[in-house]
């Protein structure tokens, strides 16, 4: 969600700030704005809507501003509807801020400030922080910030400028991510390195409660007691081209086509002598033998990757696995013990609900393993063990390659757990790994065969609602296929275990309703085809995703989608590709904003 940027240097910063905000559009937003120093005062320009249609047009109409210091923001509404006045930056003539997160005690703070004579124009929680900074202002920004954050509760990342300190930007964070970028004679703040990667690869990570005082010549870090802090610089391991479309119509399509490479980058470094190797995170066979249960926790696509993991781990290792939606985990009082392993899955490493689940697991004393894509993210730093998925930046809000590599990790973990617990021998484990190494080529084959997916999509665009069905691993996969379609095409879709159709859901089937059946598991093929016949006899239009060597004759499928053959256990890694591309082409044919679906954010940093 919301994005923060800031610049202080010698260059004219308006275009730099707007360009950085555009790099953060993938996070999801409904308004955007910047605040810059112009003629010794703070000038704020902001507008509801897309950057190109709102903020940039407003900048054109108001004329250019000669400024070398400023902050910017893309807002995803939490308090107050999307509007110009609720947009960030927010402040008055003396102080101006941008804010990610939620201030939980803003009502109390607002009441206090109202009693002190302050008026409020917006509906936001952010305005209470801006006004509190103004109330506490003593002439010393650092003292003012320390005093202010002592009185606010919740999650926040703040970029702050003071009129009397026009060559400084201040930054502070709690829970929400924020970095400080280091250039030559210029410095940046950003909620994501993607925003500043074209200017610098070097950055510092702000930790909880740390405050940064930033000028063009460098940055000083302090804790909440005003003690100086020394920090190590981080270096991004990818360049700006990875965050550009590279000739593709959408980031989503680019990222789907990158999946074979992402798989190789993730799998190959974790194979040693033909066996899965987790020594980089100190996850030993002794540990894997001792765990009583394995919990897998995530949100959305990450949780779906965990469901695939559950099926595979329980099938191979005969070890109980509990998959939890992160937002429910801590509220259901899980029966977690120090003898359990909790696997935390998050693309961004900043997902608020997932971070809360991690904290609970750490507090209980369970071992925690983070599977994340962003190096140095909060979840990566706070988990006891971490494995990076090495997928590269994923810009489209709709996750594709991140899901793919998360699922791949689940397979490697399953193989190693099964071997450690003597459920499979070394030869079997090596055979599974060898077949896993063949999956990227099979994924590439699916990516190259896009014409059949476009044909299916052309049939779906007029649907009001549809169903995905499958059994076993195919049901797990159907959940992800359904999510992809509803996220970007806005067509209502649900996934069901095919055997549950007769328990109510089949009543929804009427003439022409699309049903996408996934049938890649040989031992369940006949049962799934029986379900296909059931929905077909009630007028459904059926798309069947299956292996190319399966006999589906006589079941009345309207649109068969054939996949390269792999071991049944590994088929979710292959079969997800057509589901992604069907969703993609459906959204394209409906003229939807594929990379920026309405109401969604890439990184959900509030509960």
Eight-state DSSP code of residue 487? H
Which pLDDT score, from 0 to 100, does residue 400 have?
Answer: 95
Q: What is the largest CA-CA distance in the chain?
A: 81
Separation in Å, CA 525 to CA 310, 456, 476, 538? 21, 21, 15, 20
Which residues touch 323 (CB under 8 Å, ≥6 apart)? Answer: 295, 296, 297, 303, 306, 307, 309, 310
* Backbone phi and psi for residue 519, each to the nearest 5 degrees, phi listed first: -140, 80
Contact present, 412 and 270 (Cβ < 8 Å): yes
Token digits for 145?
Answer: 């910030």
Question: Three-class SS of residue 436?
Answer: helix
Domains observed in the chain: 3-242 (3.60.20.10), 247-437 (3.40.50.10490), 442-594 (3.40.50.10490)
Q: What is the pLDDT of residues 30-55, one digit of tens each?
A: 889 899 998 889 999 888 888 888 88
Q: C-alpha distances in angstroms, 268 versus 313, 330, 386, 443?
A: 20, 35, 17, 16
Q: Is 274 left (phi over 0), alpha (psi -120 to 50) or beta?
A: left
Out of 2, 446, 546, 555, the active site residue is 2
- What is the model's pLDDT at position 240? 59
Question: Which parts of the chain have pLDDT scores under 70?
Answer: 1, 27, 238-243, 601-607
* Cα dihedral 347, 353, 354, 358 sign: positive
pLDDT at position 213, please? 97
The whole-number pLDDT of residue 241 equals 59
Give yes or no for a contact between 176 and 157, defined as CB atoms under 8 angstroms apart: yes
Run of H or E residues at 265: helix 259-267
Q: Are 72 and 4 in contact (CB under 8 A)?
A: yes
Cα–Cα distance between 182 and 202 in angstroms, integer? 5
Phi, psi angle pair for 4, to nearest 5°: -120, 140
pTM of the model: 0.78
CA–CA dist 185, 69 (Å, integer): 12
335's torsion region: left (phi>0), alpha (psi -120 to 50) or beta?
beta
Tokens representing 563 are: 């996949």
Marked catalytic residue, from 50, 310, 484, 602:
602
CA–CA gap between residue 122 and residue 90 (Å, rounded)? 9
Region of 236 on the Ramachandran plot (φ > 0 left; ψ -120 to 50 alpha; else beta): beta
Give per-residue burial for 180-201: e unless 16+ CB within 10 Å, then b: bbbbeebbbbbbbbbbbbbbbb
Active site annotation includes 2? yes
What pLDDT, on a 0 to 100 scale, did the predictor assign at position 603?
A: 56
DSSP state of 275: E
DSSP single-letter state for residue 552: -
Q: Which stretches of 472-513 are assigned E, i.e. beta strand?
A: 492-497
96 labelled catalytic: no
pLDDT at 226: 94
For the chain, how far is it from start to end, CA to CA, in angstroms? Answer: 12
Q: Measuring CA to CA, how many Å separate 591 from each of 451, 458, 597?
A: 18, 12, 11
pLDDT of residue 466: 93
């Amino acid at each position: 969600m919301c994005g923060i940027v800031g610049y202080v240097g010698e260059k004219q910063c308006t275009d730099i700030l707007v360009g950085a905000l555009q790099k953060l559009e993938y996070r999801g937003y409904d308004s955007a704005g910047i605040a810059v120093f112009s003629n010794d005062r703070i000038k704020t320009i902001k507008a509801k809507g897309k950057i190109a249609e709102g903020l940039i047009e407003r900048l054109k109409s108001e004329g250019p501003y000669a400024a070398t210091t400023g902050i910017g923001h893309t807002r995803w509404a939490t308090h107050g509807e999307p509007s110009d006045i609720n947009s960030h930056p927010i402040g008055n003539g003396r102080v101006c801020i941008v804010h990610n997160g939620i201030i939980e005690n803003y009502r109390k703070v607002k009441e206090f400030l109202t009693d002190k004579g302050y008026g409020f124009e917006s509906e936001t929680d952010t305005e209470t922080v801006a006004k509190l900074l103004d109330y506490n202002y003593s002439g010393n920004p650092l003292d003012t910030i320390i005093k202010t954050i002592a009185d606010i509760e919740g999650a926040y990342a703040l970029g702050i400028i003071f009129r009397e300190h026009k060559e400084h930007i201040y930054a502070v964070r709690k829970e929400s991510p924020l970095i400080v970028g280091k250039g030559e004679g210029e410095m940046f703040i950003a909620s994501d390195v993607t925003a500043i990667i074209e200017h610098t690869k070097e950055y510092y990570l702000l930790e909880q409660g740390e405050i940064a005082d930033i000028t063009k010549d460098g940055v000083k870090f302090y804790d909440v007691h005003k003690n100086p802090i020394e920090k190590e610089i981080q270096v991004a391991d990818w360049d700006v081209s990875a965050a550009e479309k590279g000739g593709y119509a959408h980031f989503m399509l680019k990222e789907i086509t990158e999946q074979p490479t992402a798989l190789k980058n993730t799998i190959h470094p974790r194979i040693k002598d033909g066996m899965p190797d987790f020594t980089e995170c100190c996850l030993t066979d002794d540990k894997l033998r001792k765990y009583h249960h394995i919990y897998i926790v995530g949100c959305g696509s990450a949780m779906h990757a965990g469901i695939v993991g559950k099926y595979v781990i329980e099938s191979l290792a005969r070890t109980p696995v509990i998959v939890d939606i992160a937002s429910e985990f801590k509220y259901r009082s899980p029966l977690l013990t120090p003898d359990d392993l909790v696997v935390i899955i998050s693309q961004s490493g900043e997902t608020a609900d997932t971070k809360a689940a991690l904290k609970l697991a750490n507090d209980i004393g369970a071992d925690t393993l983070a599977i994340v894509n962003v190096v140095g993210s909060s979840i990566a730093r706070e988990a006891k063990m971490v494995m990076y998925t090495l997928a590269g930046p994923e810009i489209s809000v709709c996750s594709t390659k991140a899901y793919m590599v998360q699922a791949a990790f689940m397979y490697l973990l399953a193989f190693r757990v099964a071997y450690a617990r003597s459920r499979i021998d070394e030869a079997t484990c090596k055979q599974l790994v060898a077949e896993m190494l063949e999956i990227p080529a099979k994924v590439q084959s699916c990516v190259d065969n896009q014409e059949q997916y476009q044909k299916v999509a052309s049939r779906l665009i007029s649907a009001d609602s549809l169903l995905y069905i499958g059994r076993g691993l195919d049901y797990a996969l159907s959940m992800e296929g359904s999510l992809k379609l509803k996220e970007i095409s806005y067509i209502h879709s649900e996934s069901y275990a095919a055997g549950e159709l007769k328990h109510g859901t089949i009543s929804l089937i009427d003439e022409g309703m699309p049903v996408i059946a996934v049938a890649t598991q040989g031992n369940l093929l006949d049962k799934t085809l029986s379900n296909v016949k059931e929905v077909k006899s009630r007028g459904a239009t059926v798309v069947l995703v299956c292996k190319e060597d399966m006999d589906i004759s006589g079941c009345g499928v309207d649109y068969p989608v054939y996949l390269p053959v792999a071991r049944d256990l590994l088929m979710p890694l292959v079969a997800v590709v057509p589901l992604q591309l069907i969703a993609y082409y459906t959204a394209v044919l409906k003229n939807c904003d594929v990379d920026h679906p309405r109401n969604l954010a890439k990184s959900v940093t509030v509960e």
